[in-house]
Amino acid sequence: MTEVVIPPAVAVAEAPPGRLAARALGLPSVLFCIVTGAAPLTAMLFNVPVAVQGGGYAAPAAFLIATAALTVFSVGYIAMSRRVTSAGGFYTFVTRGLGRVVGVGAGLLIGLCYIIFVAAVVGVMGYFAATTVRSWTGLDLPAWLYMALGLAAMSALAWFHIELTAKVLGVMLVAEVLALLVLAVAVLAHGGAQGLSAAPFNPAELFGNPGAVKVFGAAASGIALFAAFWSWVGFEMAPNYAEESRDPTRIAKIATYASVIGLGLFYMFVSYAYVTGWGLEGSVRAVSDQFSGAFASAFYPLSDRYVGPPLTAVIQLLAVTSSFACAMAFYNTGARYLFALGRERVLPAALARTSRRHSPAVAAMTVTVIVALYGFGFVLYDPSTEGALLKLGTWSPLLGVLGILAVQALVCAAIIRYFLTEARDGFGWFSTLVAPLVGGAAMAGACWLLVANRTTLAAAEGVPFITLMPWTVLAMFAAGVVVALVMRGQYSERYAELGHFTLADPELDAAGREH
């Protein structure tokens, strides 16, 4: 089995065609690139209300369960990333563990899912930009105009060096985290509406939660757990930046654990502050009021009450910048998947061309075109500002999350098989067997929760986009499988190299010394 090996210490200026900028990113930059994909502020503003709708005031417990499950998943994921370092990420992992046919199917599916996420979050950004500018200035411009401006800005950033993008994302990330921390600390310092309680962290309270039953008529723990898992989408991006990292093995490990555990603690803290600020039953009623249009977010009255209107204005602004940063992070990862698939001729080889700064320029501009066309279709369907949020920004993430969770389940199976066959010297009973089994079960369960509750989550009964969503995911996967089978029959040499473009031995340290 031939390995396409690239020396680890190639200088950025000397990087050959088909390579990304080597050693461009340190640990902070990689963290900025991946954590902004999870979009902490956006996750809290949108997913906490959904979690409360399903699990009532026990929403923090849903984030606790998701943190534990994703931490276990990360154990095997990190073990695999120490052996396989490539911009292909999940595509490369699945190919190495489950074979080229399944790998190409997973690669095409995950690449398209990230691009769909870009379009979805651009829609969210357009909605918040339009409503915020209108409330502040009275200027009423359509959401699609802000969407076009945001996509243009992302395209410009993507053309330049990845380090510039990382700095932009870093500034936005720090701002949104600080704003939420100020709000959460203020709520807890005041003791909330009814004092502090440990009940929100009790997993048993998720099932048949009295607060949710009283307000919504039924508690759907599946919706609460799905909302929690949804909040981490993007944490798995670290291996996609391996080729541009200064120390791929070390950085991928630290960045993945830091994002999973760090985000988990942050989500639990902020969601607990939300529940405490409103009071146990009041937190559920506030979500009901938000859904009925009483206010744009149930977090805004909290910031008014416990800190003051200036913080509310800051959070409103950060809702726009956070959405932009989130979309930019997904844009980067989607471009790297197209780049990897183009480099291995699964997709047109032109996608592997880089700019003079060694960014995946052609792949990035392709992402721009796909996002523009996809978003334009939704604008034609519903050109209203609300449609940007409730259609493009709500329906599309469900499709993307389902695809990503399904591929993550495949990655778990790939990890187990890879260490039982190709890398037996690295096999560990917990890290490469038990952890992937538990992680895979969690991902499969989350997929089931999404499919079973997709109509409720989308608030769309009988809409073909939602009804056919599981089949759309299967169709994208099947398209990749067909491409792989065609390559196996007609381009056998090229097929033999699929999934094996990697850096030099990842066990070499950053200075290039042999282990």
What digits encode the pLDDT tens for the residues 17-56?
A: 445 455 555 566 666 666 666 678 888 988 898 889 888 9
Is the Cα dihedral 455, 402, 153, 38 positive or negative? positive
Mean local confidence (pLDDT), 387-391: 87
pLDDT score, position 5: 38
Burial 394-405 (b: 16+ CB within 10 A, else e): bbbbbbbbbbbb
Q: From CA 236, how far away is CA 230, in angstroms rounded?
A: 13
Short-list 133, 184, 148, 116, CA closest to 374:
116
Mean local confidence (pLDDT), 393-401: 89
Q: From CA 391, how far away is CA 119, in angstroms rounded?
A: 11
Q: Is residue 512 scored above 60 in pLDDT?
A: no
Share of the chain above pLDDT 70, in %: 82
pLDDT score, position 505: 41
Would you tell me the crossing angle of helices 162-189 and 248-278 to the nearest 10 degrees? 30
Mean local confidence (pLDDT), 238-251: 60
Greater confidence (450 vs 89) lies with: 450
Short-list 27, 311, 256, 383, CA closest to 301:
311
Q: From CA 236, how far away is CA 337, in angstroms rounded?
A: 13
Q: Is residue 469 scored above 90 in pLDDT?
A: yes
Q: Is residue 3 scored above 70 in pLDDT?
A: no
Share of the chain above pLDDT 90, in %: 37
pLDDT score, position 449: 84
Greater confidence (216 vs 160) lies with: 216
| Confidence tier at 239 by pLDDT (50, 70, 90) | low
pLDDT score, position 208: 79
pLDDT score, position 186: 96
Alpha helices by DSSP H, 431-513: 435-458, 464-467, 469-490, 492-496
Short-list 175, 482, 493, CA closest to 311:
175
Q: Is residue 170 scored above 60 in pLDDT?
A: yes
Mean local confidence (pLDDT), 471-495: 93
pLDDT score, position 514: 35
Q: CB burial class (10 A; 0-12, 13-18, 19+) of residue 227?
A: buried
Q: Which residues pair with 4 in a beta bridge?
A: 501
pLDDT score, position 100: 92
Q: From CA 319, how far away is CA 311, in angstroms rounded?
A: 12
Burial 31-46 (b: 16+ CB within 10 A, else e): bbbbbbbbbbbbbbbb
What digits encode the pLDDT tens for the residues 438-448?
A: 989 988 988 88
Indicate the average pLDDT of the chain.
82
Mean local confidence (pLDDT), 176-199: 93
Q: From CA 98, how far away is CA 418, in angstroms rounded?
A: 8
**What Cα–Cα distance (Å) separates residue 325 from each residue in 118, 121, 320, 385?**
10, 9, 9, 20
What digits encode the pLDDT tens for the residues 414-429?
A: 999 999 998 888 888 8
Q: Are 46 and 183 in contact (CB under 8 A)?
A: no
Mean local confidence (pLDDT), 451-479: 90
Greater confidence (458 vs 245) lies with: 458
CA 249 to chain centre: 21
Q: From CA 18, how far away is CA 16, in angstroms rounded?
A: 6
pLDDT score, position 310: 94
What digits encode the pLDDT tens for the residues 60-85?
A: 999 999 999 889 988 988 888 777 76
Short-list 453, 486, 432, 505, CA closest to 75:
432
Task: Provide DSSP, 103-117.
Answer: HHHHHHHHHHHHHHH
The encoded tokens of residue 359 equal: 């960014």
Domains of the chain: 4-503 (1.20.1740.10)
Q: Identity (one letter) of the amino acid at 12?
A: V
pLDDT score, position 419: 93
pLDDT score, position 327: 86
Short-list 67, 439, 426, CA closest to 257:
67
pLDDT score, position 25: 58
Mean local confidence (pLDDT), 205-213: 83
What digits encode the pLDDT tens for the residues 344-371?
A: 888 898 998 877 766 788 999 999 999 9
What digits encode the pLDDT tens for the residues 266-323?
A: 999 999 999 999 999 899 999 988 888 788 789 999 999 999 999 999 998 888 888 8
CA 281 to chain centre: 31
Greater confidence (228 vs 218) lies with: 228
Rounded to 10 degrees, the C-alpha dihedral 431/432/433/435 comes to: 40
| Confidence tier at 459 by pLDDT (50, 70, 90) | confident
